[in-house]
């Protein structure tokens, strides 16, 4: 990943974490509800991975927002 991509994924991860915390859901429970691994969610929230579209769809569904809103950063 180049620097621009890294910054984007860091911002995306921070947004996911913020929205999850605003709902008062801990990381383990949220990952379970979204049917993704807790480690995978941790990596996404810390901007260390490029999440697949299906994963982003699951996260957006768990946050009860459209994927488009999730990607607006």
Q: What is the pLDDT of residue 3?
A: 92
* Structural domains in the chain (count): 1
Q: Which two tokens stand for residue 28?
A: 């383990």
CATH assignment of the domain containing 26: 1.10.260.40
pLDDT in tens, the chain (73 residues): 789 999 999 999 999 999 999 999 999 999 999 999 999 999 999 999 999 999 999 999 999 999 999 999 8
Domain span at 15: 3-71
Residue 61, Cβ neighbours under 10 Å: how many? Answer: 15
At residue 4, the pLDDT reads: 93
CB contact at 8 A, 17 and 8:
no
- What the block records as the tokens of 22 is 């605003």
């Amino acid at each position: 990943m180049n620097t621009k991509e890294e910054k984007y994924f860091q911002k995306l991860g921070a947004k996911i974490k913020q929205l999850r915390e605003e709902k008062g859901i801990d990381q383990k429970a949220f990952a379970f509800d979204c049917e993704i691994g807790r480690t995978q969610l941790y990596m996404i929230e810390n901007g260390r991975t490029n999440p697949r579209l299906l994963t982003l769809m699951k996260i957006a569904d768990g946050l009860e927002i459209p994927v488009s809103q999730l990607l607006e950063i």
